[in-house]
Amino acid sequence: MSMNLIAFLLSSVLISNPLISSMQSYSYCNEYNLVEDNTKEFNWYYQLDKNTKTVSPPKECPFLTNHKIAFVGNNTKKEIFLTFDEGYEKGYTGKILDILKDNNVPAAFFVTRPYIEDNPDLIKRMESEGHLVCNHSSHHPSMAKITDKNKFEEEFKEVEEEYTRVTGKNMPKFFRPPMGKFSDLSLKYTEDLGYTSVFWSFAYKDWLIDNQPSKEEGKKKILEKAHNGEIMLLHAVSSTNTSILDEVLKELKSTGYTFKSLNDLNKE
């Protein structure tokens, strides 16, 4: 690839396509540096511009342009992609599904193998009510720490097999890296398995079950940070999220937002 083409790819002002690949524009890296160690672990983070409400990914990771990832949708459309991470069940998912059904809102649930084993009825309900049940790894490790390709693939296949055993269907090809940890190599391995790595453009500290944010704090964070194309990450173990979800969904809809499935990312 010529340096002129690289400069073009890195100089675009906006992302128009939510799936970033090696030949799509990427606006947040000032210079292109090849990663010498493709196993180096990075933590996902994002920056939301308060004025433009556009989202930037980690600037130290130019290799993101080489992989099939999603962290935000089309930033010209008032659309939100709602996602939940499910490592274990705290008793709130049934209520969350009730709220989603009442509001006609689709969601994606990223689940581990033990979660499927322990909660087959919830998995069946998610699937039957039109939600996506997606891969969150078998054992919830840092995928960047697994450099052996066979062991890496096992983390995916064990979840796929359990999902198929419970539902009789194939698992959608969306993957959320546990804890948001990744490397150049882990993203490549993920893509080799046919998956899109799904990060996020909104999250907040909602996963500590013994230190939950207040309802007012949770609502304020979610509503104030709403933005076009948002991929929202919530944790289903949160009592606060469960309590405020109905009100939050209704308020976001009242301001013009619509909720989309991750499957719609490919249609943007």
Q: Kindly state the average pLDDT of the residues 226-241.
A: 98
Rounded distance between C-alpha atoms, residue 20 and residue 191, angstroms: 12
Question: CATH homologous superfamily of domain 48-267?
Answer: Glycoside hydrolase/deacetylase (3.20.20.370)
pTM: 0.87
Residue 246 appears among annotated catalytic residues: no
pLDDT at 138: 98
pLDDT above 90: percentage of residues in the chain: 81
Question: What tens digit of pLDDT does each residue of 101-117 get?
Answer: 999 999 999 999 999 99
Q: Note if 235 is an active site residue.
A: yes
| pLDDT (0 to 100) of residue 23 | 27
> What are phi and psi for residue 185, nearest 5 degrees?
-70, -40
Cβ partners under 8 Å of residue 176, min gap 6: 83, 85, 110, 134, 135, 136, 197, 198, 199
* d(C-alpha 148, C-alpha 49), whole Å: 38
Taking 60 as the threshold, does the pLDDT of residue 44 lie above it? Answer: yes
Per-residue model confidence as pLDDT tens digits over 45-96: 999 998 898 999 998 898 998 999 999 999 999 999 999 999 999 999 999 9
Single out the catalytic residue among 37, 49, 85, 210.
85
Q: How many whole angstroms separate alpha carbon 122 and alpha carbon 98?
A: 12
